């Protein structure tokens, strides 16, 4: 009984805040108090105070500053391992309780590019909702880098993005190859072999720089020794199609965006030579709890293979 009382007294004096543990993990991951403050929407002194209070309660030093970098001590690294497990358990518990409270199968936050969201996801999400009518699906669009960052930060559950992608905490599953094709207005007929050299003589409309699809197209031109300067760069595949249809130039677009243009007389579609593809992949955190909604969404996306 004395041992039980001492044990109870010890833990009563050293209750750990889940927020403080989350802050510790962020500081270790980002290596910075200021970056952690920005991620959490707090001031830097508030982040520092959480870590100091945690160190005071445990009686150990958890973070050491080496130059501008914040690194865990041996104790901090060990506590971080427990904190990661605690976060997974808490997230799983909350998801389970939410399903009990609402009778729903949960919520899935899905991130992908605008093109995939418009032309690829609708039938997949329709079938998913038919099987799970109470599943809440929140779809977010953005470029690959932003979606991957959101997955890493757990503000998005699943990402459908364009490779290449890297991240030690990510599980990356390639699911499909999407051919990139050339489109042009009828008055600018494309040659039988649509090469980079042939396109370099035509006015070109491309995606905005910085996106994965634009990078793939730029590399394709570069491999043929063509340094292309497009007459216009846009962020919307639909805008590019309409401008090409209006006779303002040619473009390179994902073939999935051209599936429903068979009845359009203002667009000509041709494969590139050599052919060009972008590879789409599903990304998710390795430690993500796979409750039913996430699991079923992952299964639906992986059937694209």
> In this predicted model, what pLDDT tens digit does every residue of 169-226 receive, in sequence order?
999 999 999 999 999 999 987 888 999 999 999 999 999 998 899 999 999 999 999 9
- Is residue 228 within 8 Å of residue 221, measured between CB atoms? yes
Q: Cβ contacts of residue 167 below 8 Å, gap of 6+?
A: 148, 152, 283
Identical topology for domains 105-175+281-302 and 177-279? yes
For the segment 272-279, the average pLDDT, to the nearest whole number, is 96
Share of the chain above pLDDT 70, in %: 91
Q: What is the pLDDT confidence band of residue 2, given thresholds at 50, 70 and 90?
A: very low
pLDDT at res. 227: 86
For 79-138, what is each residue's pLDDT tens digit?
999 998 988 888 878 777 766 565 556 789 999 999 999 999 999 999 998 988 888 899
- Describe the chain by its helix, strand, coil percentages, rounded to 5: 45, 25, 30
Whether 270 shows a pLDDT value over 60: the answer reads yes
- Chain-centroid distance of CA 249 in Å reads 32
Beta partners for residue 285, in sequence order: 170
Residue bearing the bigger pLDDT, 273 or 95: 273
Fold for the domain defined by 105-175+281-302: D-Maltodextrin-Binding Protein; domain 2 (3.40.190)
C-beta separation of 228 from 182 below 8 A: no
Contact 213, 286 (CB under 8 A): no
Average pLDDT, the chain: 88
Residue with tokens 């833990």: 11
Specify the fold of 177-279. Answer: D-Maltodextrin-Binding Protein; domain 2 (3.40.190)
CATH 1.25.40.10 correct for 2-99: no
Confidence of residue 290 (pLDDT cuts 50, 70, 90): confident
pLDDT score at 4: 40
Compute the distance between CA of residue 112 and CA of residue 235 in angstroms, rounded to an integer: 14
DSSP H or E stretch at residue 107: strand 107-112
What's the pLDDT at 95?
73
Residue-wise pLDDT for 242-252, tens only, equals 999 999 999 99
The secondary element (H helix, E strand) that includes residue 283 is strand 268-285
The model's pTM? 0.66
What are the structural domain ranges in the chain?
A: 2-99, 105-175+281-302, 177-279
What's residue 277's pLDDT?
Answer: 96
């Amino acid at each position: 009984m004395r041992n039980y009382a001492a044990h109870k007294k010890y833990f009563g004096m050293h209750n750990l805040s889940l927020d403080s543990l989350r802050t510790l993990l962020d500081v270790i991951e980002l290596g910075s108090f200021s970056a952690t403050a920005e991620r959490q929407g707090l001031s830097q002194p508030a982040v520092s105070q959480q870590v100091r209070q945690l160190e005071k309660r445990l009686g150990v030093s958890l973070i050491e500053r080496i130059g501008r970098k914040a690194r865990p001590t041996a104790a901090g690294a060990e506590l971080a391992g427990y904190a990661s497990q605690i976060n997974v358990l808490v997230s799983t518990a909350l998801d389970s309780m939410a399903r009990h409270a609402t009778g729903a199968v949960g919520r899935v936050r899905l991130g992908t590019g605008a093109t995939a969201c418009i032309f690829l996801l609708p039938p997949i999400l329709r079938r998913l909702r038919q099987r799970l009518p109470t599943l809440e699906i929140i779809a977010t669009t953005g470029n690959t880098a932003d979606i991957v960052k959101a997955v890493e930060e757990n503000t998005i559950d699943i990402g459908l993005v364009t490779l290449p992608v890297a991240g030690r905490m990510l599980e990356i599953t390639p699911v499909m190859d999407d051919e990139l094709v050339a489109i042009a207005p009828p008055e600018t007929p494309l040659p039988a072999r649509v090469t980079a050299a042939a396109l370099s003589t035509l006015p070109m409309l491309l995606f905005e720089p910085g996106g994965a699809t634009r990078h793939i197209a730029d590399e394709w031109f570069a491999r043929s020794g063509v340094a292309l300067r497009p007459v216009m760069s846009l962020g919307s595949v639909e805008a590019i199609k309409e401008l090409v249809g209006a006779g303002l130039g040619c473009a390179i677009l994902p073939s999935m965006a051209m599936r429903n243009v068979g009845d359009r007389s203002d667009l000509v579609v041709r494969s590139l030579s050599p052919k060009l593809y972008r590879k789409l992949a599903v990304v998710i955190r390795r430690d993500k709890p796979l409750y039913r909604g996430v699991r079923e969404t992952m299964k639906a996306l992986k059937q694209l293979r």
